[in-house]
Amino acid sequence: MGYVTLAIATGRTAKQAIKLLEAGGMDFPDFHNNSRKLVMYDRTNTIKLIFVKTADLTTYVEKGAADIGIIGKDTLMEERPDVYELVDLNVGKCQLAVAGFPGQTYQNGKMITVATKYPAIAKSFFDEKGIRVETVQLIWHHSSGYRI
């Protein structure tokens, strides 16, 4: 019997996604909070669940290693992978904010530099506002925080 391979990004999104799957009648007996398993099957062996790094999930789906995936919309908006967004599950909500120095104002027409983890999203946001930006991508390192 075949199964559907479902990729889930590890972390907070995974816990919320598992709750949704369970609410829909899909039970993964090997899943528990302390589980370190990266591959497991539902009770009926019709769903193969794989836990992958967020940065890799869209590649799994694009290349066919997973049939579907559950990931944050921020990743879809930033990476713009060649996949279909089937439904917004309203899990893993995040909020993006623009921060600057107090009292500093934007001078119309002047290019500003924006440091961000999400350069494509930031550029799109500022383009909509007619503000020219140069984006600098920040990368999170678990040991030392953000780096350019």
Residue 62's φ and ψ, nearest 5 degrees, are: -60, -40
What pLDDT was estimated at residue 77? 85
From CA 29, how far away is CA 94, in angstroms rounded?
A: 29
Q: Provide the greatest CA pair distance for the chain.
A: 64
What pLDDT was estimated at residue 105? 80
Residues in the chain with pLDDT < 50?
none
From CA 25, how far away is CA 23, in angstroms rounded?
A: 5
What pLDDT was estimated at residue 143? 63
Stated pTM of the model: 0.75
> Average per-residue pLDDT in the chain?
86
The partner residues of 115 in beta bridges, in order of sequence, read 136
- How does pLDDT run across 138-148, given as a tens digit for each residue? 886 666 666 65
What pLDDT was estimated at residue 2? 87
- How does pLDDT run across 59-70, given as a tens digit for each residue? 999 999 999 999
Residue (of 65, 36, 50) closest to 7 by Cα position: 50
Catalogue all structural domains in the chain, each as residue range(s) with its CATH number: 4-79 (3.40.190.10), 96-148 (no CATH)
